[in-house]
Structure 1
Amino acid sequence: MAHHHGIPSAPSLPLARVRLEDVAPHDGAAAPAYARAVGALVASLARRGAAVLDLPAADAAVVRCALESARAFFRGRPAAYLYRAGRTLEDGELSPACMADAFRCLGKAARAALSAIARHLRLRTDVFNHLLDDAPLPVNEVSSSELLVAYSHEQPQSGQELMGCLRSSMPVVDRGFVTLVASDHPGIEVCDPNGHWYLADWGSGPSDLLLLTGSSLSHVTAGLCPISRYRDTNENRASLTFRLMPHANAILDCSQILAAGHPIRQIYQPIPASQFMDDSCAEEHDVFSHLEEPLESQGNFVSDPSLRSVLSDPLSGAFLEDAMVLQCGHSFGGLMLKKVTEMARCTICNGEVDPASLFPNLALRAVATVVKMEDDRRLFHNAALRKRRKDVTDYADVPKCTRSSSRVHDENGAESLAAAVKGVQYPFVVGERVLITGNKRTPEKFVGKKAVVTSQCLNGWYLVKALDSGESTRLQYRSLRKVPEMQTQGPVSLRD
């Protein structure tokens, strides 16, 4: 792909450009123009990971005003401002002009796009409305959706500034339903389903909105709507990024998708929106942590749960080691491939399928095989770890007097669990006397007391019983010390 000043050229297949009026919700039977617009919009999202919405003249004027306001507000310095409708400005806080009007226009466009996607999936156009904020927003209520106003420009970077620039160009996956981006200069690259990055807003102006889809939409549609990955090339530009988010009390589920007859993978379970957002933040943190790790320690990243779900058959759960690619670019394997060929329709974009045109997706098969091998290795490791823990627990339950005081070795010369049980996290056994040295969390009345171990818990925790008072408490091994043999007077009964 050719580049110009560090920016990829226009995509080989242009994005669908749809007028916002054409995808506005329609009651009853869809008009031909509406059906064509909805089909073009969804097909572009499936094949290119993005689409373009053309705003009406009045809304385009509002967006242009907001972009000019952003440039004036930041005064040529790279910065960003997060706007939420209904939020009261703090003392001394300033906001760019036209934000309320821009928030209203972009919110209306985002809801129209969401309705079009629902219609394509054979759902009611308002099926997701209960997951969104009320419109209009009630008084004294802050919107869950957000508008990010930013200004950036390309400049030489060094040191930590360079690291910050690289992080800003990292691939982004939004957590909401849909994202709309307006800018006065191209600069958003999108990754298509084949893994190719292209400049998505090439040739776009302030009246054009780049439409992207987020992880919340993918969840409530059981993965039928793909997630867009994009990145900012940090060019000299002002931009508005509107994210349509679920409200905090929403429950993200796939009940409507199931009712429409679509298959649902087991991973798409109902989840509160607040928890979904927290989990997404944790995943983003893990991704950045992974990118900062040494290369030799990054092998385990292939077992990320979301990657496994992409590489598995939604019906049988088997890895796509037999993946075939369709003419539309989507790949299937296992039982879903059989269903697609029987229907002669792609279950993602609804495109026609010619069984004679299918050919193996060798890259996907190779990745699925690698992930399957990694999963098998982890399952074996976890099974061995569980067996070791069980053996340790079983050994701890054996009376101390029946154990050999000498170290026992297996046929390979390795020490047996009779010695390993005295390791770092299991230094004591049931029935053994200990001295409670304690820490800042240990109740004062137990500190300095002698006790007997009555039970062994997980992760180095013990239940001990004070010898003088007979009271029990739960302490970690770091809070205990073995009583010297000369201070013990014979075996201790658990009834003491």
Structure 2
Amino acid sequence: MSSPRHPPPPPPARVRLDDVAVHDGAAAPAYARSVAALADSLARRNAAVLELPAHDAAVVRCALESARAFFRGRASVYVYRAGRTLEDGELSPACMSDAFRCLGKAARVALCAIARHLRLRTDVFNHLLDDTPLPINEVSSSELLVAYSHEQLQSGQAPMGFLRSSMPEVDRGFVTLVASDCPGIEVCDPNGHWYLADGGSGPTDLLLLTGRALSHVTAGLRPISQYRASNENRASLTFRLMPHANAVLGCSPILAAGHCIGQIHQPIPASQFMDDSCAEEHAVSSRLEEPSESQGNFVSDPSLRSVLSDPLSGAFLEDAMVLSCGHSFGGLMLKKVVEMARCTICHGEVDPASLFPNLALRAVATVVKMEDDRRLFHNAALRKRRKDVTGHTDVPKRAGSSKDNGELVLDAESSAPFKGVQYPFVVGERVLIMGNKRTPEKFVGKEAVITSQCLNGWYLVKAVDSGESIRLQYRSLKKVMELQMQALAFLR
């Protein structure tokens, strides 16, 4: 007798974009149900499908046909950014500006719906995004990836810069929208199972995925989507909603809404966050290219990390306990389960006396935590090395210290670490915000504390009186001690 076949997993929820758009009747039951369905699909399937209205669907269909015509059957990729001027001789597929505007609007609607489900204001993340409309002479931080793939990719003949179908991908932005004329996107669900996410979608439907930046600003409440391409004969549009360069990614709205925040989710400048994510992706892709190491590389899987973490505090389950129903919990969620005397997954009754340690889960969580600590230390070392190099390039050239091609060579006297003038402050130091014409007036003249050192002489500082953070360059700051000495000298 053949074993019974398990039913296929349910596909991602399909939600009409108009139903989750903020409008005058946003508190209506239909809006609440649509927002809940969208959030539930992201939690259970790490993806959702957005149905576009008729006029937006026509724009996406036109852009997909334009992509096929532009590439003329040759596998290739084109990246479009609003506000960027074309270089001499550069061509662009037609309808890209309309498609960028259409998909950008849909991505913002999805982000507002996610914020609403987390009990936040729908516009709580708007200050992290580009201004709309985009100011003149400013290039958008978000991007539209236009691609056409062909069967030749299956034989390993991928063009430069094109992602191989076997390599999983995680985006660094807030949300990602994918439209394609043929199904072919597989997504990894929270249980680590890959499934075809756009199997029932048409060319005018958008597959919604979530990225690293959204996971950070929501303190891990919205996990990261991991996806890969499985069909290599299709045209696709991939829109990535990214934070603007001067944004600071923090979790203060999540904390204000009553959610718990783990210590790993600290405020960080978007530029530094993107640098760290890029370095991590490069390290992961390098390991994936080596078969002997990639077979055991389970630590980089974000779905596994979410399974091994406490959903409330974000801490790894190094204190995991297993219930009589078979489910395991740790950290703050374990305390909640014990207080409720009921499992939050299957709703079965819980007897505190029946709990016993889940030694296997604790061991795996410990290993993943050690790998995370090692990666964070490696990224910190990379940032320090980059800052040291930046400081060295500011050293004036001396006789015998440079080559003819302009490359800087340090002699024995200058081989010691050099601290460039663009980093005159250290973390924890008190400064006075002098500001410039672009500094908000409420910060000018305030005392602040250096909380983080960014690239190119920028610092993240926190105002002492209000606790608000702002990213400023060293020229806008003065040491409090230095000002006090100047005042004493003046009085004398």
* TM-score, scaled relative to structure 2: 0.67
Identify if the C-alpha distance between structure 1 residues 344 and 187 changes in structure 2 by more than 3 Å, giving closer, same or farther.
farther
Report the Cα distance in structure 1 between the residues aligned to 2:215 and 2:19, rounded to whole angstroms: 24
Report the Cα distance in structure 2 between the residues aligned to 1:231 and 1:296, rounded to whole angstroms: 20
> Of 366, 373, 377, which residue of structure 1 is paired with 2:360?
366
1:442 aligns with 2:411: yes
1:215 aligns with 2:184: no
> Of 287, 293, 300, which residue of structure 1 is paired with 2:284?
287
Conservation of the 8 A alpha-carbon contact between 1:49 and 1:191: yes
Any runs of at least 4 consecutive aligned residues in structure 1 with deviations exceeding 6 A, and if so which? 162-166, 296-301, 303-309, 343-346, 374-379
Identify if the C-alpha distance between structure 1 residues 241 and 342 changes in structure 2 by more than 3 Å, giving closer, same or farther.
farther
RMSD of aligned residue pairs (Cα, Å):
4.0
Aligned length: 374
**Residue in 1 that maps onto 2:317:** 319
**Residue in 1 that maps onto 2:430:** none
1:338 aligns with 2:359: no
> Of 341, 354, 368, which residue of structure 1 is paired with 2:347?
354
Identify if the C-alpha distance between structure 1 residues 300 and 76 changes in structure 2 by more than 3 Å, giving closer, same or farther.
closer
> Of 101, 107, 111, which residue of structure 2 is paired with 1:110?
107
Structure 1 vs Structure 2: percent identity of aligned residues?
Answer: 74
**Residue in 1 that maps onto 2:451:** none
> Of 10, 18, 23, which residue of structure 2 is paired with 1:21?
18
Report the Cα distance in structure 1 between the residues aligned to 2:327 and 2:106, rounded to whole angstroms: 28
**Residue in 1 that maps onto 2:199:** 202
Question: What is the correspondence of 1:142-153 to structure 2 with a 5 Å cutoff?
Answer: 142-153=139-150
- For residues 457-481 of structure 1, give each alpha carbon's deviation from its aligned partner in whole angstroms, at most 9, with x where no partner exists: 9xxxxxxxxxxxxxxxxxxxxxxxx
* TM-score, scaled relative to structure 1: 0.67
Deviation at 1:289, TM superposition (A): 1.9
Find the residue that maps to 2:152 and give its secondary structure. coil
**Residue in 2 that maps onto 1:244:** 241
Report the Cα distance in structure 1 between the residues aligned to 2:227 and 2:348, rounded to whole angstroms: 32
Report the Cα distance in structure 2 between the residues aligned to 1:222 and 1:124, rounded to whole angstroms: 16
Conservation of the 8 A alpha-carbon contact between 2:179 and 2:206: yes
Identify if the C-alpha distance between structure 1 residues 242 and 334 changes in structure 2 by more than 3 Å, giving closer, same or farther.
same
Q: Residue type matched to 1:242 in 2?
A: F
Report the Cα distance in structure 2 between the residues aligned to 1:50 and 1:345, rounded to whole angstroms: 29
Report the Cα distance in structure 1 between the residues aligned to 2:200 and 2:247, rounded to whole angstroms: 38
Conservation of the 8 A alpha-carbon contact between 1:10 and 1:198: no
**Residue in 2 that maps onto 1:70:** 67
Conservation of the 8 A alpha-carbon contact between 2:186 and 2:196: yes
Question: What is the correspondence of 1:21-420 to structure 2 with a 5 Å cutoff?
Answer: 21-26=18-23, 30-155=27-152, 157-158=154-155, 167-293=164-290, 295=292, 302=299, 311-313=308-310, 315=313, 317=315, 319-320=317-318, 322=320, 332-340=329-337, 342=339, 354-356=347-349, 366=360, 368-372=362-366
Find the residue that maps to 1:231 and give its secondary structure. strand
Report the Cα distance in structure 1 between the residues aligned to 2:301 and 2:188, rounded to whole angstroms: 19
- For residues 359-399 of structure 1, give each alpha carbon's deviation from its aligned partner in whole angstroms, at most 9, with x where no partner exists: x999x9635413525867999xxxxxxxxxxxxxxxxxxxx
Deviation at 1:63, TM superposition (A): 0.3
- Structure 1's unaligned 5+ residue stretches are 1-8, 380-438, 448-455, 458-496
- For residues 66-106 of structure 1, give each alpha carbon's deviation from its aligned partner in whole angstroms, at most 9, with x where no partner exists: 00000000000111100000000000000000000001110
Deviation at 1:243, TM superposition (A): 0.5
For the pair shown, the structure with the greater C-alpha radius of gyration is 1
Report the Cα distance in structure 2 between the residues aligned to 1:204 and 1:324, rounded to whole angstroms: 39
Find the residue that maps to 1:113 and give its secondary structure. helix
Conservation of the 8 A alpha-carbon contact between 1:321 and 1:366: no
Report the Cα distance in structure 1 between the residues aligned to 2:266 and 2:146, rounded to whole angstroms: 34
Find the residue that maps to 1:366 and give its secondary structure. helix
Report the Cα distance in structure 2 between the residues aligned to 1:70 and 1:195, rounded to whole angstroms: 33
Identify if the C-alpha distance between structure 1 residues 44 and 340 changes in structure 2 by more than 3 Å, giving closer, same or farther.
farther
Conservation of the 8 A alpha-carbon contact between 2:165 and 2:232: no
Q: Residue type matched to 2:411 in 1?
A: T
Report the Cα distance in structure 2 between the residues aligned to 1:19 and 1:326, rounded to whole angstroms: 41
Identify if the C-alpha distance between structure 1 residues 158 and 106 changes in structure 2 by more than 3 Å, giving closer, same or farther.
closer
Conservation of the 8 A alpha-carbon contact between 2:190 and 2:306: no
Deviation at 1:317, TM superposition (A): 3.8
Find the residue that maps to 1:240 and give its secondary structure. strand
